[in-house]
Amino acid sequence: MNRILTLGFSPCPNDCFIFDALLHGKVDTEGLKFKPVIEDVEALNKKAFKAKLDVSKLSFFTYAQLQNKYSLLDSGSALGFGVGPLVVAAADSPLPKGVRGLSDIGIKLRIAIPGKNTTANLLFSLAFPKIKNKVEMLFSEIEDAVLKGKVDAGVIIHESRFTYKQKGLKKIIDLGEWWEKKTKSPIPLGGIAIKNTYPKDIQKKVERTIRRSIKFAFANPGSSKGFIKKHAQTMDEEVIKQHIDLYVNKYSISLGEKGRKAVSILLKKIDNINI
């Protein structure tokens, strides 16, 4: 009998690109079958705290808190240079750019975040430890909330990185660039984790299957288009391409020594922060 594992991932183009082949019989899954659970990353984070998913995409901030329940797989992660979340405000906002300027007045601001347990919130908290007035909302609602004045600024992720300018927003700070300058390492955003209760041979099977799925996607870039468009927030093909090119890279195939070091640096930072 084939083993069926619940597999949580987001509807974003990069995740659909990664998991299309393994879900649709395009690669060898070594006898494993997967039941997809496609939700916003913060919803997946919350499910992981209750151990509801066998395998799941998790923000690295969430993974850091759940290492007693989940093990990080070597394949499937989203990390790299130039991939970090952005803090944005309305184009006519008087907010100054940069860490120092925003820190000076930040305690008075209302900031939209895409979830308490996201790496985006972690990075914002590391950069602006004094700013506590945060409003959690779905990542796809943050741009509009900023534009309508419901919040003073927002931390945006995913497709929003490519659309904020045309919507009338301006960048206050790139939290990824801030992290890179501070640590000289890529920023770990999210990884794929599996319940610790599964034996090592199953964990390695899942890891190999995900890696196989990614390599198939790279070799056959048109194969996953239908699956991606079915779930993407945006239907703009250029935005979808930019999204995948940015978030699926060599670290997705294997974290490697540099990727594992970057995760280690992030985990150490978390030990010293109170969010």
Which residue in 24, 158, 231, 243 is the catalytic one? 158
Q: Is 158 a catalytic residue?
A: yes
Cα–Cα distance between 116 and 30 in angstroms, integer?
Answer: 36
The answer to whether 5 and 54 are in contact (CB under 8 A) is yes
The answer to whether 269 and 126 are in contact (CB under 8 A) is yes
Q: Report which of 215, 250, 241, 253 is spatially closest to residue 26, judged by C-alpha positions.
A: 215
| Distance (Å) of CA 225 to CA 36, 83, 217, 245 | 17, 22, 10, 14
Neighbours of 200 (CB within 10 A): 8
The answer to whether 102 and 133 are in contact (CB under 8 A) is no
Q: Which residues of 9-18 are buried (b: 16+ CB within 10 A; e: fewer)?
A: bbbbbbbbbb
Cα–Cα distance between 145 and 36 in angstroms, integer?
Answer: 30
Burial class (CB in 10 A: 0-12, 13-18, 19+), 118: buried
| Distance (Å) of CA 185 to CA 38, 126, 246, 260, 264 | 30, 16, 16, 10, 11
Cα–Cα distance between 208 and 29 in angstroms, integer?
Answer: 8
DSSP 138: -
**Looking at the annotation, which residues are catalytic?**
158
